[in-house]
Structure 1
Amino acid sequence: MHIVVLGTGMIGTTVVSEIAKFDGIDAVTAVDVRQASIDKCLETANNPKVTGRTASLATEEDIGKMLKDADVAVGCLPHSLSLIAVKAAIASKCHLVDLVGSQFTEKMALHQEAQDAGVIIVPGCGVAPGITNFLAAQGIEMLDKAEEAVMTCGGIPRYPVPPLWYQVVFSLESVLGLYTKPAMAIAEGKLVKLPPLSRLEKVTFPDPVGVCETVITDAHSTAFMLKDKVENLYEKTVRYPGHWEKMRVLNELGFLDMDPIEINGITTTPRALSEKVLVPKMSGDSTEDITVVRVEVSGVKDGKSTKYTWEMIDGYDHGRNITSMAKTTALPAALAAKWIALKKITETGVVPVESLFIRERFQPFIDELNHLGVEIECIEEVVM
């Protein structure tokens, strides 16, 4: 089986390294626009199964050329290229696991095309979106009546520094979307859009995390998939105290706007300018990070009030020498690609994780993630 990984940034490199270790995978091709990134990826993977190719990935045709001889692809590309990669995979009749969950409606509209091509497209298969989504979906499946599902997740520094108490460990493009994008949720059985950075709340996690703050963020795919199965559903993102309020002020002042402005004859956007200013303020002395996940699903089972809570507190992986965010984002995608390659998954079409990794597949997938180092614990609480 031949797997192609599109994009060899931090997470793409981790996907390449992990997939190459799997039995049954014969070859892995790492593709990126920059030779230096590929060289670093090949050095990190250090596996004879892995080869690299440089290519433009700007168009459907560009990406299609890279998928010509592949059985499965994993998309580790920026949000702006995700839908293009999906279309290229369908045209190339290549299965695709995509880390990006944005443009969900547009991707779902390609379901019949993917079925006709005989391929499966799995959007949003990382940690969030990804793990949080199928945990919520499984919790809902386990209840007779699901009343509320709350998906809480965040990547935070192990050693936070002022003024923002946060550091970027992957794409700032994805991070800034949290501060500006309206949040899709389910409230009283209906899809609703909530303002960005709304419903600030305190939350406490086990050591070494402690007290944090959350705001509502976009749960678009999960809300769309589960809108008929649960009365209330929200996604929340975690940061250390004080971070959200500072970003709220920047947003209110227009520093995160996308409308063009002119500065000394140069056209740019407030967000592009802010990115340049913020990156140094979001870079700490240590690359060590922590990824926290808490998914709580409550309702009624066998006539009793029941709540399922899944929790993951994952730190920097010193054995692999990678961030927790890279590991917890890459491994679900790598594992999903492996399952497709080995025909443990045979569905076709655009199939979100909310329907792919539940019921009989749920525990085996969780068990394999645990074996790979992504440890998720579950607590069941029953009120008599």
Structure 2
Amino acid sequence: MKIAVIGAGPAGSAITRVLMDYKEVQNLVVLDRNGAVLDELKESFSGHPSLSRLRTFRVGMQERSSIITLVNGFDVMISALPYQYNLEMTKIAIETGSHFLDLGGNDKVFEMQRKLDKQAEQNGSCILPNCGLAPGLLNIIAMNGFRQFETVSSIEMMSGGLPVNPHPPLNHHLSFSAEAFLSEHLPPVLAVRDGRPVDLEPMSGLEPITFQSRPEMTALETFYTGGHISTLAYTLQGSVSNLSYKTIRHRGNHSVMQALIELGLADDRIIDIGTSMTYKDFLIRKLRKRIPENLPDIVLAKVIIDGQNGSGGNSKKLRRTYELTYEYHPDDGHSAVMSCTALPTAHIALMLARGEISARPGVHPPEQIVPAESFLDAMKQYGIEISIHDSSA
């Protein structure tokens, strides 16, 4: 099979590392505009038995014709770029007749991708946005759990990539870009209330959180952030009363981020006419400079489903809690949160290329068409721990 990864940053490199271990991937191409990043990627695979199957090309994302030439005839394209590029990469995949995956993260972009459904169907392309951790793996867990109930009243989803040794003042690190980190805190948060999609206030709903599988991690907090539920809100509207997503952080992160935002340091107002620098640009620069990147970390995630099983007098209320954990390991070559982003994405790409996903060509949320049982079994084999606890709701 032939797979192309667009973007050689932390996420693209992590996805490439997963795919390199599969002999069935006979042709693996990575594209990026940064030649130094591509050189670093190839150097990281020095001595790897599959190095001959990896090719890299320095191509800017605006060089559309060059990208089409390089990926034409490939089975799957994976965009590991910031969400702003996902729509254009989707169009390129459709034009070349390739299947396509991305990491999602923006609801408006998905809405534009969904409008390409007919074109994708005509060209034989299966388009799966939102295939990372959240949205992605957590959405598939939530949908799989939903299908195991007679009726479901609520689904709560939470996740976070947390530094093992948090550093003040944010007690956090930059596992993705500073822009991506900040953008979670600003837009309205998509959720479902009373069966209908609604927007919640970002950073609201602050509360403590604990994990049965990690009882030692007690100083954690969780609150609403955007860009994570995405397609699941529309898939389950009318079928659940309440659906929401919260991010997980070390205690104290919320108060610092809220103060920065309330002071106006995330505003788009220009503070330097000569350079057109905004307050947000200034804050992003400071975050890059002052907040550590890719510290040893642990991914914690939770999906809580409240519902009923049985009917009539035999109906019983049930709460099912899924807890997911994945700890940083130096042999991975990247952070735990990058592993939990790359592993679902890469495996769905393999499933598409193998023909293990039976769906008509078109634009599909992964939670609707990815075979959940075999997919989640694969995640466990990769070392992502998923425990299930049932209790009376």
With structure 2 as the length reference, what TM-score do the two structures score?
Answer: 0.92
CA drift at 1:382: 4.5
Work out which of the residue numbers 340, 350, 367 in structure 2 matches 1:354.
367
Residue 9 of structure 1 and its aligned partner are, at CA, apart by: 0.9
Q: Corresponding residue for 1:277? A: 286
| CA distance, structure 2, for counterparts of residue 64 and residue 273 of structure 1 | 36
Superposed, which structure 2 residues align to 1:1-384 within 5 Å? 1-45=1-45, 46=48, 47-58=51-62, 60-102=64-106, 103-205=109-211, 206-218=214-226, 219-259=229-269, 261-263=270-272, 265-283=274-292, 287-302=295-310, 303-347=315-359, 348-357=361-370, 361-382=371-392
- Three-state SS of the structure 1 residue aligned to 2:5 is strand
How far residue 346 of structure 1 moved from its aligned partner, in angstroms, is 3.5
Q: Structure 1 residues 95, 264: CA separation in 2 closer, same or farther (over 3 Å shift)?
A: closer
**Residue range with higher mean Cα deviation, 226-235 or 15-24:** 15-24
The worse-fitting range, judged by mean Cα deviation, of 214-223 and 8-17 is: 214-223
Read off the aligned partner of 1:327 and give its amino acid letter. S
Shift of the alpha carbon at 1:194? 0.7
Q: Secondary structure at the match of 1:107?
A: helix
Q: Would you say the 8 A contact 2:319–2:390 is kept in 1?
A: yes
| Contact 1:76–1:98 (Cα < 8 Å) also in 2 | yes
Measured in 2, the distance between the counterparts of 1:71 and 1:295 equals: 33
Alpha-carbon distance in structure 1 between the residues aligned to 2:273 and 2:362:
50
**Whole-angstrom CA distance in 1 between matches of 2:264 and 2:80:** 30
Q: Distance in 2 between matches of 1:108 and 1:66?
A: 25
CA shift at 1:321, angstroms?
2.8
Contact 1:58 1:81 in 2 (8 A): no
Matches of 2:138 and 2:325 in 1, distance apart?
13
Of 58-67 and 203-212, more deviation after overlay is shown by 58-67
* Counterpart-to-counterpart distance in 2, 1:382 and 1:207: 21
Taking structure 1 as the reference length, what is the TM-score of the superposition?
0.94
Percent identity (aligned): 28
Could you tell which deviates more after superposition, 125-134 or 286-295? 286-295
Secondary structure in 1 matching 2:52: coil
> Hey, what's the Cα distance between the residues in 2 that align with 1:39 and 1:210?
42
Q: Which moved more, 1:127-136 or 1:205-214?
A: 205-214
Could you list the runs of 5+ residues in structure 1 that have no partner in the other structure?
Answer: none
Deviation >6 Å, runs of 4+:
none
CA deviations 1:315-362 (Å, max 9, x no partner) are 1122223210110000101000101111112421111122023xxx21
In structure 2, the gaps of 5 or more residues are none
Output the CA distance in 1 between the equivalents of 2:230 and 2:346: 23
Asked if structure 1 preserves the Cα contact closer than 8 Å seen for 2:135 and 2:230, the reply is no
C-alpha RMSD of the superposition = 1.6
Aligned CA distance change for structure 1 residues 380 and 48 (closer, same or farther; 3 Å): farther
For the 8 Å contact 2:178–2:287, the answer to whether it is kept is no
How far has the Cα of 1:13 moved from its partner? 0.8
Aligned to 1:204, the other structure's residue is in SS state coil
CA change 1:322–1:262 in 2 (3 A) is closer
Aligned length: 378
